[in-house]
Homo-oligomer: A and B are copies of this chain.
C-alpha cells in the first residue's frame, strides 16, 4: 500500500505534475449520494489560491468523474476523478534532473527511484496531486454535512501574524466555520488577514517565502468515533495530514502547549448542559479522549513550512557533476502555500472522518443523510 489509504473508504492517488493526467480513485462510497459539483469546484478554486498570491500556472483544474457517478448520484462503484495536465512548461524543469532543490523531494526521489522518477515539476511529489484529493474531500464534506457535521479551517498564523481563535460556543463556531468555508484566504480577524497578505507580498518582493499554521475544527461529530489504539482519530487524521506536502507538525486540542500545563489545568471537567448532554468546560482534549470523539468540537492544528521554491540563489549539489553548485530557480512559484494547503487539510480531515464513521455505521450510512432529497429509484 503506497499511494492508497483508508479502511472503509479508500483513496488511491496517481499522476505526475507534467504527465498526461493526475487523479484519484475513491472506493467504498455508498450509492445514492447526490454530488454538488459546484461545491467541489469552489474547493478546487480555494486550493488554487488567489490570483495575486499564487502560482502563475492558471489551469482551471477541470475535473472529470470518469467512473462511479451516474445521473447525478454516486453509483457505489469506485469513483474516479481525472484531471488532465494542460498548461505544462516542461522546459522549465530540465535542470532538476541533476540540481537538487533544497528541501524539495528531488534528492530523496533520486535515492528512492534511482533516476527513473519523472523529475519534471516534482513529478508524483508535486503539490498538484492534491487537486484530486480536494475533490475526494469535497465529496466527503457533503456526506458529513448531510449528517449536520460541519468542518472548516482558518489561518491561525502566517508569516509571523496571528489570527483570532475559534470561538468556543458551538453556534458561534458553526458561524465562523461557514465564514471560513466561503473564503479563499480564511481568517477570523479581517485585519490579521490583511497583514498576512502583506507579509506574503513582502516575502515575494524579497524573493523569499513564508509558512504558517492552519487551525481546523469540526462540529456535530457523534461521540464514540475512533478506536483505542492504532486507529484513534488522531492516528487516522495525522496519518492523512502528514501526507500533505510541506506539513511538519500536527497537534490536537491544546497540542504542544498541553505539555506545559499541570494535570489540574489540562483536564477537561465534565458537566451536564441544559439539554442534558455531557459536555466539557474546557476543550484541551480537542474533542478526542482515548482516541475517540467525545462530542465536543474536534480541534487540530497543522504546521506548514514556507514554500521550498524561492528565487534567491541557494547552495546545493549537482549530482551529474558530483560537486557542490548554486541553484537559481526560475518559473512559477508561490511565496506562500499555507492558504492553499488549507483546502487540502479540510479535504483529508473530511476523508478521515467519513472513513471512521463508515466503519462503525456501515457503508449505507454515507447515503442515509440524503434520503429526504433523493429520487426514488428503488423498486
Contact A70 B103, beta carbon cutoff 8 Å: no
Contact B315 A271, beta carbon cutoff 8 Å: yes
Contact B116 A230, beta carbon cutoff 8 Å: no
Contact B70 A16, beta carbon cutoff 8 Å: yes
How far apart sit A361 and B365, CA to CA, in the bound complex (Å)? 8
A121 adjacent to chain B (CB < 8 Å): no
Q: Which of B4, B241, B286, B315 contacts A27 (CB 8 A)?
A: B4
Within the complex, what minimum Cβ distance (angstroms) separates A166 from chain B? Answer: 17
Interface residues in A183-238 by Cβ distance below 8 A to B read 203, 208-213, 222-232, 234-236, 238
Q: Which of B157, B227, B241 contacts A2 (CB 8 A)?
A: B227
Nearest opposing residue in chain B for A316, CB measure: B270
A169 adjacent to chain B (CB < 8 Å): no
Are A230 and B1 also in contact (CB < 8 A) when A306-B262, A320-B379, A379-B110 are? yes
Q: Which of A50-58, A138-146, A171-179, A252-260 contacts B (4 or more CB under 8 A)?
A: A252-260
A44 adjacent to chain B (CB < 8 Å): no
How far apart sit A224 and B248, CA to CA, in the bound complex (Å)? 18
Are A103 and B285 also in contact (CB < 8 A) when A80-B14, A124-B228, A377-B114 are? yes
Query: Count of A residues near B, CB < 8 Å?
Result: 161
In the complex, what residues of B have CB within 8 A of residue A32's CB? 113-114, 116
Contact B306 A263, beta carbon cutoff 8 Å: yes
Contact A103 B268, beta carbon cutoff 8 Å: yes
| A106-119 to B contact mask, C-beta < 8 Å, 1/0 | 01111111111110
A123 adjacent to chain B (CB < 8 Å): yes
Contact A322 B272, beta carbon cutoff 8 Å: yes
Are A231 and B1 also in contact (CB < 8 A) when A108-B224, A254-B248 are? yes
Interface residues in A123-172 by Cβ distance below 8 A to B read 123-125, 129, 157, 160
A40 adjacent to chain B (CB < 8 Å): no
